Structure 1
Amino acid sequence: VVAAYQLKFRYILIISAMFMGIEELFLHWDIYTHHWWKTVYTGALMTIGFSISKIWYVWLTERYMTFVHYATFFLGMLAITSTIMFMLLAYFHNNWFYTGWFASATHDSVNATMIYVCVVTVLLVWSVAKEFFVGAAMIIAGLRIVDILLIYYGVLLVSITTSLVLFTLLQAGAFILSVMLQNFIMKNCYGTSKKDVAFPAKNY
């Protein structure tokens, strides 16, 4: 909303303050806990983030730069794929990483999961960007081999026997969403689904 309607800075401050208020309310209700974080960090980073989003939106809709497009594409898919992975972890407890990087098992698994998700997202976005759809199937199959190796070496623990099948289906679904998101961005921001039309040669 801030970016699409190019809201003025005072509205950004008001929205950031609202989120700070929500955070303090959750703390008061004891349904949310700070460890090293402070509410002021939320307000400061949201203010910065909203300000950047206004500039980014203009770049995305007016500059037609491939870097901006694919960064947006990657971040959008990262949000989707990470949500899927963490929902699996939260609801089914069917995958857990043990790397030994952190003393806390939860921190260990969360950080390893994010690295895993980033790698998966990069590969899926790359295959869609290159229109290498056969490669996407090869990537998903290759990830299952990686999963099996991680399980063998005790880095990845899966609690149900169908977890790898579930991962495959979800990543195939994420690939389909990647294609849809790519087309959505292209058509709605540039008015075309053709990359050579949307991005002049000088911007590649």
Structure 2
Amino acid sequence: MSSNAYWYIGLSIISLIVLAIALARAKSVRAVFLVLIMTQMAYLIETVIYIYCGSYFYHPGFLKDSTYYDSNMGALASNMLVIPTAALVIAVYRLRLRGIAAAIALIGAIEWLWVRLDLYTLYWWRIGYTAIGLAMYFPLTRIVYNRLHRPVRGVLHSLLLFLCIAPILGTLHIVPIMLFMNRDYAPGLFSDPAHDTTTFASVYYLVMTLIIVTAMKMRRGGAWMKAVVIVLLILAVQGVLLAMGLLHIHARWDPWYYCLFPTCVFLALKPVSARLARGG
């Protein structure tokens, strides 16, 4: 593990401490929902600018076998911890313009320091773009948090449910690949296999999330019957991807893991749908 890793670990620990304090202050499950929703929004933005458009590159020094997967680890630290934690603090403590501006300035200062220390490389991206993006992202946090107070129905309910579930599925999907190289995807969009795999995975987990949200919203059929259908559907998708040469599996446990963890997420998070519908 390189010296860069200690900076990322330190920032992650600080974020986790602040996150725990904010969640304790909120004393509400909607704070957890907000973290998940804002994490997925950060994931979606990062998918476009980082994965597809090559905006920047992280250098945490956690993984030696693949620089791109190592960069992904840095992206996770930012989008799963730092940014959602700041968003939660703004919502829970009801920070207004000055507080939001201070949060943006702090994140900008960290980004500048990371560049100076060669922990992070900017390509076409600029720190000013981060500030502009956060100036839209953070006010939205308060809107979402306040909306979670009230019952949610229809399309908005489906959207918020999707945003709650997707970051869990996405993280559980890509992290084993980065750590164990148990599978790779080959859509042929990028020359680096890790970049190619990350690109396909960024779409794959969204499709799986849509399937799970659809199953949750369906009134007919019991939970366990739907769980079996999800397993069979994922097995069928994996079979098609293998036959097309888009998927290569390198570990015996891989097919079972990728069939079972979405099903477990479905069963564990099914109550989230009802809680969103109730609000509060």
TM-score per shorter chain, which class?
0.7 to 0.9
Corresponding residue for residue 163 of structure 1? 254
User: After superposition, where does 1:1-204 map in structure 2 within 5 Å?
Assistant: 1=88, 2-62=90-150, 64-131=152-219, 132=221, 133=223, 134-187=225-278, 189-190=279-280
Q: State how far apart, in whole Å, the 2-side matches of 1:165 and 1:140 are.
A: 9
- Percentage of pairs with the same residue: 23
Rounded to whole Å, the distance in 2 between the matches of 1:63 and 1:183 is 10
For residue 239 of structure 2, what is the amino acid of its counterpart?
A: I
User: Which residue number corresponds to residue 200 of structure 1?
Assistant: none
Answer whether contact 2:187 2:196 (CA < 8 A) is retained: yes
Contact 2:153 2:277 in 1 (8 A): no
1:125/1:178 contact within 8 Å kept: no
Deviation at 1:184, TM superposition (A): 4.2
TM-score, length-normalised on structure 2? 0.61
2:91 & 2:190 partners in 1: Cα distance?
37
Cα distance in 2 for residues equivalent to 1:33 and 1:170: 34
CA contact (8 A) 1:59 1:68 kept: no
The Cα of 1:140 is off from its aligned counterpart by 2.3
Distance 1:97 1:182 in 2: 32
Q: How far apart are residue 83 of structure 1 and its match?
A: 0.8
Deviations 1:78-122 (Å, cap 9, x if unpaired)? 111111112111111112110112344333221210110000001
| Alpha-carbon distance in structure 1 between the residues aligned to 2:143 and 2:131 | 19
Residues in 1 aligned to 2:126 and 2:226: alpha-carbon distance in whole angstroms: 44
Residues 159-168 or 57-66, more deviating: 57-66
Does structure 1 retain, via aligned residues, the 8 Å contact 2:112–2:127?
Answer: yes
The answer (yes or no) to whether the contact 1:98–1:156 under 8 Å persists in 2 is yes
Deviation at 1:183, TM superposition (A): 4.1
Structure 1 stretches lacking a partner, 5+ long: 191-204
Instruction: Give, in angstroms, the shift of residue 186 of structure 1.
Output: 4.1
Amino acid at match of 1:59: R
CA deviation after TM superposition for structure 1 residue 149, in Å: 1.9
SS of equivalent to 1:102: coil
Letter in 1 for 2:212: L
Give a deviation string over 1:32-86, Cα, whole Å, max 9, x none. 2223322222221112011112222233323634333221111111111111112
Quote the residue 2:63 is aligned against.
none
CA distance in 2, matches of 1:184, 1:172: 20
Task: Report if the CA contact (8 A) 1:60-1:68 is conserved.
Answer: no
SS state at 2:184 partner: strand
Q: What TM-score results when the alignment is normalised by the length of structure 1?
A: 0.82
Give the secondary structure class of the aligned counterpart of 1:6: coil
Higher mean C-alpha deviation, range 3-12 or range 121-130:
3-12
2:273 & 2:116 partners in 1: Cα distance? 41
Deviation at 1:22, TM superposition (A): 1.8
